[in-house]
Structure 1
């Protein structure tokens, strides 16, 4: 069945929450708060990109990706974003849904003129999309190899990356 990647619509929040909970239920290295983060970003108006993956005649949502602004200090570099959480229901993992969401999210950032994007995750996976660990670009408290960036225009900044306070959401 064809996969459709589209912008989040009004009424998608409950389905996105279900997808996110399912995707992270058995994942290693998770706080199990990803659904709360997405909801808090939405409430704060900080979802710069929020895409869903749909499949089938009933248009079932099987994946979601969130992108939100980040700040970098002390450089103050503008136009940087954090990708995540990205979620795919377990039955659809390994079928290209996540890759399609990644490519679409990065393309939206390019079209918007973003300077770059950071992600916290598995280097082997995110490296496929141009993400690499950048010396000097740091997420405090995280092993350097798992915090990666892709520069979309200009030079990559140096500094500490700070995500929106929504990433502290626990309910």
Structure 2
């Protein structure tokens, strides 16, 4: 297969689809590999995805494929917000196979997942991550929205409709895996 190695672009053969039961093992291995050498990894990202799946809390679970091989995955799950805001979700983890990072696969997964959330009637989404990366998708930090003791600039939100929520955010219990 000829791959487009231009930095920042997935190959023309990259496609997305919803997770299927036969993908579970590949997603777990991919997620472990994707976070293996990252500075801020808890090492539990694959267990988080498994726990969310077991609790039927994967609102959206997409895979990126190249030649029918899974090279990326993204999960979205419900969050609760102290102000009582409903229909809010958390993005993550998002995983791309290490040799395919930097080719736009994560971007494809994030954009598609956010579009699906919006289409499904979500009011918004939160993410814990690098503001330099997530602002390109419309995420902004909001000091009125908090997650644990994380500095405000690393906890961001995107509002699809309604007013911005306020208060503490709690991810699904699967994140305690």
Q: Which TM-score band (shorter chain)?
A: over 0.9
Structure 1 residue 154 corresponds to structure 2 residue 165: no
Structure 1 residue 134 corresponds to structure 2 residue 136: no
Distance in 1 (CA, whole Å) between partners of 2:87 and 2:27 is 26
- 1:77-102 deviation digits (Å, cap 9, x = unpaired): 00000000000011000000000000
Q: In structure 1, which of residues 17, 39, 54 is the aligned counterpart of residue 28 of structure 2? A: 17
Note the C-alpha offset of 1:51: 0.2
Q: In structure 2, which of residues 81, 86, 89 is the aligned counterpart of residue 78 of structure 1? A: 86
Kindly report structure 1 stretches of 4+ aligned residues shifted beyond 3 Å: none
Distance in 2 (CA, whole Å) between partners of 1:41 and 1:80 is 16
User: Paired residues, what number?
Assistant: 166
* Structure 2, unpaired ranges of 5+: 1-10
2:77 alignment counterpart: 68
Distance in 1 (CA, whole Å) between partners of 2:132 and 2:17 is 26
| TM-score normalised per structure 1 | 0.96
Distance in 2 (CA, whole Å) between partners of 1:28 and 1:145 is 17
2:5 alignment counterpart: none
| TM-score normalised per structure 2 | 0.93
Note the C-alpha offset of 1:150: 0.2
Distance in 1 (CA, whole Å) between partners of 2:135 and 2:172 is 24
Q: In structure 2, which of residues 109, 121, 126 is the aligned counterpart of residue 118 of structure 1? A: 126
Distance in 1 (CA, whole Å) between partners of 2:160 and 2:34 is 28
> What's the C-alpha RMSD, in Å, of the aligned pairs?
0.6
* Structure 1, unpaired ranges of 5+: none
2:64 alignment counterpart: 53
